[in-house]
Chains A and B, each alone.
Chain A
């Protein structure tokens, strides 16, 4: 049983560019959450998707957007990249009715 997978593993972009990160949830899970983890900090909640809709959102600007597909996989898009967007981006999946989340290994984004 595959766990949560994320791609790519690492990514380097320059300021002003746009990036798309991808996540496949654990088998049987229908809810995907995204988190940003800066170096030395705990993960910060970006948003959560369920039934292809954004269900909850953290304190992140509109440059951060997402999408969930009918197969429950998800994308995180970040526009107009800033140096401060450099971080580990984590995807977590869960069942809608449950509160326990299972995390992927993350995508390390570096903005130069």
Chain B
């Protein structure tokens, strides 16, 4: 399975934008980039996913590099409820289809 690399932790202040980076230099052409987050004592929650183009939804934006070897999850205005572990996952290509391979993720702390 193609691997992703994320910073262990990041901090932000409330109402400021947050940019969470992810490197995936071994991504294959059929791999989608998925982001999930896990709040304390809850199951992971789908945030956003994309293949090549930047994507926006009500929760966040996903910016994908032109060579697809990195991506950035953007939370436009962080709130205290956004404090969670954020996972960047590659899925959809070949034998990885149907399973999500979670790494350690990035622990996001949001300060009031």
Contact = CB atoms under 8 A, between A and B. Distances in A.
B58 to A, nearest CB: 15
A41 B104 contact: yes
A104 B87 CA distance: 17
Q: Is the interface of B mostly helix, strand, loop or mixed?
A: loop
A90 B98 contact: no
A42 B103 contact: yes
Contacts of A31: 98
A90 B44 contact: yes
A55 interface: yes
Nearest to A94: B98
Contacts of A105: 42-43
B46 A102 contact: yes
- Pick the most buried of A99, A101, A105: most chain B CB atoms within 10 A of its CB: A99
A100 B46 contact: yes
Contact of B34 (A41, A100, A104): A100
Interface residues of B, number: 22
B15 interface: no
Contacts of B43: 4, 90, 92, 103-106
B100 interface: yes
A42 B98 contact: no
B101 interface: yes
B102 A99 contact: no
A56 interface: yes
